[in-house]
Amino acid sequence: MSEFVFLYRGGQRPDSPDLMPQMIQKWMTWLKDLGAKGRLKDTGQALELTGKLVRGRQKSVTDGPYAETKEIVVGYSVVQAKDIAEAVEFSLGCPIFDTGGIVEVRPVMKM
Domain of residue 65: give its range: 2-107
Q: Which residue has the higher pLDDT, 104 or 50?
A: 104
pLDDT, tens digit, for every residue of 11-21? 888 788 888 89
The CATH code of the domain that includes 22 is: 3.30.70.1060
Are the C-beta atoms of residues 81 and 1 closer than 8 Å to each other?
A: yes
- For the chain, the domain total comes to 1
The arithmetic mean of pLDDT across residues 80-109, rounded, is 96
CA 73 to chain centre: 7
Cα gap 46→38, rounded to integer Å: 21
Q: Which residue has the higher pLDDT, 64 or 107?
A: 107
Are the C-beta atoms of residues 6 and 91 closer than 8 Å to each other?
A: yes
User: Rounded to 5, what percent of the chain is helix, strand, coil?
Assistant: 30, 35, 35
pLDDT, tens digit, for every residue of 36-83? 999 999 999 999 888 888 889 999 998 876 666 667 899 999 999 999
